[in-house]
Structure 1
């Protein structure tokens, strides 16, 4: 799987009511280019590229009035088995597993706290082709009012085990899958919209969090949580011009 093991976040994509403006915003923020799907049924789905390599995707919102959102995908060997485990662990199957042309098989689920996430069983499309460099995915984090319940759920679904996360002066709970730290978990932070009861946050790496946050605001985005120092590095939480939430991270050395 091109280095992305089962149980590891492997992809993120954006559902937005204004795909043209999303292209403009992220192109100017991260230097991305785009490749449009040739499948008529894909409804204009695009793959964002960084130096020619896939980093994320975007497509139109499924329904009028749907909240713009970045979705986290976790790699799996068997999307249908993942769906069974989600139900057994007390979660919800939002969209049952289905084939995405010859690219892979995916399903959309919600954990007991209401945070939605997807799984990706790869075929022709393996997931992101680059991670942890400026302009690419670098971290995934569950923000939830019930961390203890989340620990139990994701251990049953993906076999994740709770550990102390990335090194730093403050203990940071994170999940390990095999030998790898794959995601973090944190309670809801101050300054975030009250309607966000639980959600998965995607983090894109940047060289300078302060400069990137300023640039996002200049491009029509919103700074929800200003840049600050955390165990993972210096990060900020932003909204794009359509309202989709995401974070940027200048990783700690």
Structure 2
């Protein structure tokens, strides 16, 4: 990821929805070195801020329904959440949660692309988003896993104005050419995707050593969905799942 701070159209935040926030705190502390602070006020509903030092890097939140699947959600920055929600609809997506104010922090909405991959919109006010990108333990890449890559290549540039680079057999997303993510096609006859997951945005966290991080995930109760491997000409990556079932990636440049 070439982005070093939240910019309009780019990923700005990641949030885990999990039925076991305390368990997730322990897991990600061991795997990524996070320390966590839970907001004691009743209004945030147990939302927990994950930090590296004093810098906010992610959130851990309780699921809202008993049948809700544990998952990470990537938020993309927008200057106008309401206008972006309208753009989602116009491009064929679905707005799952209408834009709403989150105290004085910002305005938030949840949407899904035509294939069903869920993402969030964040219009910053007091809280701009993650305070660090690309450092060990922070968001370093985002990957759309979808059964409809052609539709995605139409949908996301229409909503966010992204640039698209399909050189060297990979599709990369960018904001004004600064790359922040990629696209991976899921077989159409396997809509559940790798590891039994539907089309989704998968966050990758930067680490210094993907193999040792994957090993820590295993010893802390997680799983390996894709063991560490070297991308030709690129990083060493692995896809993992925490002990509650939420998938995420790690990559070592």
Class of the TM-score when normalised by the shorter of the 2 chains: over 0.9
Which residue does the alignment assign to 1:182? 180
Task: Could you tell me which runs of 5 or more consecutive residues in structure 2 were left unpaired when the two chains were aligned.
Answer: none
Matches within 5 A, 1:16-35: 16-35=18-37
Which residue does the alignment assign to 1:84? 86
Q: Which moved more, 1:214-223 or 1:232-241?
A: 232-241
Kept in 1, the 8 Å contact 2:5–2:133? The answer is no
Kept in 2, the 8 Å contact 1:145–1:197? The answer is no
Which secondary structure state, in structure 2, belongs to the residue aligned with residue 131 of structure 1?
coil
Kept in 2, the 8 Å contact 1:79–1:97? The answer is yes
The one of 69, 72, 79 equivalent to 1:70 is: 72
Which residue does the alignment assign to 1:153? 155
Which secondary structure state, in structure 2, belongs to the residue aligned with residue 58 of structure 1?
strand
Which residue does the alignment assign to 1:210? 211
Q: In 2, distance between residues paired with 1:40 and 1:54? A: 20
Please give the TM-score of this superposition, normalised by the length of structure 1.
0.93
Q: In 2, distance between residues paired with 1:102 and 1:39? A: 15
Query: What CA deviation, in whole Å up to 9, does each residue of 1:26-61 have, x standing for no partner?
Result: 111111111222432111101100011011001100
Task: Could you tell me which runs of 5 or more consecutive residues in structure 1 were left unpaired when the two chains were aligned.
Answer: none
Q: In 2, distance between residues paired with 1:5 and 1:107? A: 17
Aligned length: 245
Please give the TM-score of this superposition, normalised by the length of structure 2.
0.93
Which secondary structure state, in structure 2, belongs to the residue aligned with residue 40 of structure 1?
coil
Matches within 5 A, 1:4-15: 4-15=6-17
Kept in 1, the 8 Å contact 2:143–2:181? The answer is yes
Q: Which moved more, 1:134-143 or 1:224-233?
A: 224-233
Q: In 1, distance between residues paired with 2:216 and 2:186? A: 26
The one of 48, 66, 83 equivalent to 1:46 is: 48
1:81 positional shift = 0.3
Which secondary structure state, in structure 1, belongs to the residue aligned with residue 43 of structure 2?
helix
Q: In 2, distance between residues paired with 1:59 and 1:3? A: 23
